Amino acid sequence: STAADLLGLMNYMEGLRTITVLETIMVASDENVTVTDTEFSNVTVRLYLPRRAPDSLKRAMLYFHGGGWCLGDAGMKSYDLMSRRISNELNAVVVSVNYRLAPEHRFPIPFEDVYSVTKYFLQSKVLFQYGVDPTRVCVAGDSAGGNLAAAVAQQLLEDPEIKTKLKAQVLIYPALQALDLDLPSYRDNENKPVLTKNLMVRFWSEYFTSDPSLREAMTSNKHVPAESGHLFQFVNWSHLLPAEMRKAHVYKGPTYGSAELAHKFPGFLDPRASPLLASDTQLRRLPPTYILTCEHDVLRDDGVMYAQRLRAAGVQVTHDHAQDAFHGALMFILWPFDLAVGHRLFNRYVEWVNENL
C-alpha cells in the first residue's frame, strides 16, 4: 500500500484498514456467551456476558484491541474468539472497547475513550447491573491496546472519583514509550514480519500528527528536545535490560532534536501515551501485572523494561518472554493450521488471569 500512498490513491493506514474490515464479524451469541454491541459513556463496546447460572459475583475484564491506534476492531475474528473464551472459561464479563482511531482521532482521544469506558464500568451501579465483583476487575490489551491498558491503570490511581481498584493489568507485547526508538529490540527486529520498525514509527507518529516532520525525526531517533532529557532515565536500556538482550549493543545516550516538535506535539512526552515515563512513586501503587513479550518484536524491550521497573517498585509482576514468537503471535490462534505458539501463549495468559483475577 506504500505505492498506492505515493499515488495518492489511498492513505497507507486506510490500506491496512481494509484488512481489519475483512476480518470483522457480525455480533453473534452462542450457547455459552451472550454477545451484544452497545455503548458505555458514548463509546461503542462489544459486551460478552457468560450464560452460566450465577452462583456468585463474576469477574470482569476491560479489553483494548491492538492495531497501532489506527487499526483494529473488537469484532475481528481473533479478538472475538479470545473474548468469548475468556468470558466462557473464566465466567467473566468482557467489555471489548471500540475506541475511536487515528488518524481521524489522534491522541488523546483513543486514550480518553478507553478511560471513560473503564470509569463508567467501575461505577458501583454498573458493576451491580452486570453482577460483577468490584474487587475482581482487570484491564487488558495487546500492542497499542496494551499501551492503553497500562495508561488507564496509571491514570485511575490519580482519579479521586474512582473508588474501585483494579485487581490486575494484562499487557500483551505492549508499546510503552515513544522516546527511544533505537532500543536493541528495534535494531534486532527492524525488518521482522508483522511489525517493522518503519511501521511502528508510522503508528507512533500518526497517533500524534500527520505532519511528516515528526515521523522523520522519530525515524532517526532525534525527536526529543534536550529540555526533556531527564525522561531518558525511565527508558535507559543500559541498566533496564538483562545482559542477554543488550547483547553487543552499546548504549550511546540520546541525540536531542528541536524543541519545536515537542511543543507542537507534546503527546509523545505524555505518560498517557508513554506509560514508561511514569515515576517510580506512581508505579508503586499499580496492581499485579502480567506482561508478555516476544523475542522477534521491535516492542520487546518496552515490555521488558516496564517489567523491570515495576518489580523494582515492588509490584508483583509475571513476565513471560516467548523466545520463538513474533509480534502479534496471539492473533494466529485462528489460522487454519494449529500455530502452536499462539495457542500456547494464549493459554498461558488465560491461566494467569484465572489465578490472579
Residues assigned a catalytic role: 143, 297, 327
Pure H helices in 71-221? 77-89, 109-121, 124-129, 144-157, 184-188, 197-208, 212-219
Q: Judging by beta carbons within 10 Å of its beta carbon (0-12, 13-18, 19+), is residue 129 exposed, middle or buried?
A: exposed
Collapse the DSSP code of 322 into the 3-class scheme (helix H, G, I; strand E, B; otherwise coil) and give the result.
Answer: strand
Distance CA(228)–CA(4), nearest Å, equals 37
Q: Judging by beta carbons within 10 Å of its beta carbon (0-12, 13-18, 19+), is residue 240 exposed, middle or buried?
A: buried
Q: Is 312 left (phi over 0), alpha (psi -120 to 50) or beta?
A: alpha
Question: Can you tell me which residue has the cell 478507553?
Answer: 114
Contact present, 96 and 63 (Cβ < 8 Å): yes
- Cis ω for the linkage preceding 288 (within 30 of 0): no
Contact present, 154 and 278 (Cβ < 8 Å): yes
